[in-house]
Structure 1
Amino acid sequence: MIKNIQQFQHFPFHLVDPSPWPILMSFSLLNLTIGAVSYMHGYPYGGTILSLGFVLTVYGMILWFKDVVVEASYLGHHTKQVKDGIMIGVVLFIISEVFAFLSVFWAYFHSSLSPAIEIGGAWPPLGITPLDPFAIPLLNTFLLLSSGAFITYGHHALIAGKRKAAINGVILTVILAIVFTGLQYFEYSEAGFTMADGVYGSTFYASTGLHGVHVIIGTIFILVGLIRIINYQLTNTHHNGFESSILYWHFVDVVWLFLFVAVYFWGNT
């Protein structure tokens, strides 16, 4: 009945069909949060609850996003006005992410600009050997900026109708992103301090770890766009989701530059 009504509607907006995925995601995220807190405090079955919450959350996202892709690619519900609204939503989401990182940087500068006497009045604190900014961090900077250039190349190639070039650009972006994540993991495993080593360890892993999570999410975001390009679901005039992933990835690039300068370079002097 709803679909029949939408065929005769006199406005360009999409009336979303009733969906079970929002309520599923709500309970999944609640389960994920409870599991995370239980695991961190060492409660029995905390890890099991956390894993279950993660699986349910990912499963709910896949089902929900699948419906959105069907609405956009096959049902034609995403008109220009709908796409503009979605893009505004993505921009507002990225703004909220800016403030999330702002809180982390605030904590970092609060402790580093005026080090407390409890940590020796110095930054890095006494006993902490910081990472060399010109080793893996510099290499990761090159990789991430290069990935930003390749994703931009793929975007312009898609707009120009050069499908093969667009696919190659996006593939290179995904490869560089995976290498970045692998090097980040190697850096963590070789670091001489942990998150439990005072305020330095806490702010270092909170900032770089939060960014690492965003890199993983952005990689998946771009990978979905790559699959849709390969399946001819995205064209030179219809690639709103792909543009959203590019915007998100450039945000990740900019945040990393601040991290490299403030946490790795300045924090090492």
Structure 2
Amino acid sequence: MTKNKNYQSINRGVIHIDESPIALEKYRKYLPLWLKRYLPIRGGLSQDHHGKAIFGFTVFLLSESIVFLSLIFTYLGLRLIHSGNWLPRGISGPQLYTLVVINTVVLLSSSFVIQSAENSLRHGELKKFRLLLFMTISMGIFFLIGQGTEWNKLDFRLSTGLVGSTFYLLTGFHGLHVLIGVILQVIMLSRSFIPGNYDKGHFGVSATTLFWHFVDIVWVFLFSLLYLW
């Protein structure tokens, strides 16, 4: 067998040597287990399609976070510059209604439910996975309906100055991501009824779970910014 310094054979897989200038593996051991699964190990196993795909999806979510950050910082800048006349006369602005609080609790709780669903699939508990994923889908739909109900109650619209344009842009863009997350979950649930579909891996479920966690984390920032400030 021809030896090459750039790789070495281990069992059936090939581990690509990490040639980065920073010894990432040295610091990786200090990270929590839930975070390690999203990071490459020594370049990654050539057979480890799941790990590589998850890492690529994580990078995609980081790019999405930049979009959200740009919108959030734009909101902050406009809010600070126009602090004296942020709300037009007669407009109360976003209010912390009971519905908003319930919506937030439901959405954040759904992260625990979908994570439990993925863990169930990993342990081969297909019926439990379906039940928990269906619960997550229902919670996501509940949030979307609640958000639509809240929009209908507000005393301002998209065209109502900066408060209207920024509020609907931030919550609408996040709502779009919630809808996408729900659609992805429906697809994953549907695929679970295909015999043997997840026998060789479940990257789609892992990516959907990670996407849902991302959506929930973003909402924590938006909720604090729009309703608590």
Q: Shorter-normalised TM-score: what interval?
A: 0.7 to 0.9
- Once the two structures are superposed, the pairs formed by residues 1-269 of structure 1 within 5 Å of their partners are 80-115=47-82, 121-231=84-194, 232-235=196-199, 238-266=201-229
Counterparts of 1:95 and 1:258, CA distance in 2: 15
Give the AA of the match of 1:265.
Answer: L
**What TM-score comes out, normalization by structure 1 length?**
0.65
CA contact (8 A) 1:144 1:177 kept: yes
Aligned positions, number: 186
Residue 217 (structure 1) shift: 0.3
More helix by share: 1
Compared CA separation, residues 95 and 234, structure 1 to 2 (3 A)? same
The structural deviation recorded for 1:147 is: 1.1
Q: CA deviation at 1:124?
A: 3.7
Unpaired segments ≥5 residues, structure 1:
1-10, 13-78
Q: Deviations over 1:154-181 (max 9, x none)?
A: 1111112211111111000001101111
Q: How far did residue 107 of structure 1 move?
A: 1.2
8 A Cα contact 1:171 1:226, kept in partner: yes
**Residues of 2 paired with 1:261 and 1:123: CA distance?**
17
Q: Following the alignment from structure 2 to structure 1, what is the Cα–Cα distance between the partners of residues 47 and 141? A: 34
TM-score using structure 2 length = 0.75
Task: Provide the aligned C-alpha RMSD in A.
Answer: 2.0
Question: C-alpha deviations, 1:192-243, integer Å up to 9, x for none?
Answer: 11111111111101100000000000111111111112324124x6101100
Contact 1:104 1:207 in 2 (8 A): yes
